[in-house]
Amino acid sequence: MKRLLTLSILGAFVLPAAVAAPDGAALYTQLSRQAAVAASDGAALYAEKTCIACHGPKGNKPLLPSYPRIAGQNAAYAEQQMKDIKSGARANGQAAAMAGIMHLVNDEEIKALAIWLETLK
Ligand code: HEC
């Protein structure tokens, strides 16, 4: 009985610590990723994540006439559209073209892209 008690006390303290450790590591990774994204340029992401191929170097010369011009678009709107295309909430015929690459960008990168796109003319 005493041993069982010791075990459960151990379990109560050791287990949460073991769970907390990976959480801390994940949080650290997330925070350093955010810092990296904040420091990085939306322009660099735009080229690196292939956006440039379909929307043109400055977001105003789409690959196909039916693709949208995104230069100067409102950042909050653009951010939400990108998230919706990624999640599938926005899934009309043309969104499928872009959805395939959205795994390349996380939420922080989407935000950085949206903020940069808004600055374009
Ligand atoms: C393979 C082609 C393709 C790629 C690559 C692509 N897009 Fe798109 N994008 C589209 C198409 C097509 C639409 C229009 C979707 C629709 O009709 O619903 C769109 C829509 C958008 C919209 C919403 C425009 C609006 O007015 O609602 C934004 C913002 C956007 N793209 C930004 C990006 C960014 C940033 C990237 C890079 C991470 C990217 N796109 C990569 C084809 C692409």
Distance 51 CA to ligand 1 centre (A): 7
pLDDT, position 28:
62
Q: What is the reported pTM?
A: 0.77
Distance 47 CA to ligand 1 centre (A): 13
Question: How far apart are alpha carbons 81 and 121 in whole angstroms?
Answer: 19
For residue 69, the 8-state DSSP code is: P
Domain count, the chain: 2
Smallest CA-to-CA distance from 37 within 98, 113, 99, 103 is with 113
Q: Which residues contact 106 (CB under 8 A, 6 or more apart)?
A: 33, 37
Domain identity same for 58 and 97: yes
Domain identity same for 32 and 90: no
Domain identity same for 51 and 69: yes
pLDDT, position 32:
58
Question: How far apart are alpha carbons 19 and 35 in whole angstroms?
Answer: 25
Domain identity same for 23 and 74: no
pLDDT, position 19:
53
Query: Which residues of the chain carry a pLDDT beneath 50?
Result: 10, 14-17, 35, 38-39
Which of 51, 98, 107, 109 best tests ligand 1's pocket when mutated (most atoms within 8 Å of CB)?
Answer: 98
pLDDT, position 43:
94
83 CB near ligand 1 (under 6 Å): no
Q: Which residues contact 118 (CB under 8 A, 6 or more apart)?
A: 72, 73, 74, 75, 78
CATH of the domain at 113: 1.10.760.10
What residue numbers bound the domain in which 6 lies? 1-39
Domain identity same for 56 and 90: yes
pLDDT, position 77:
98
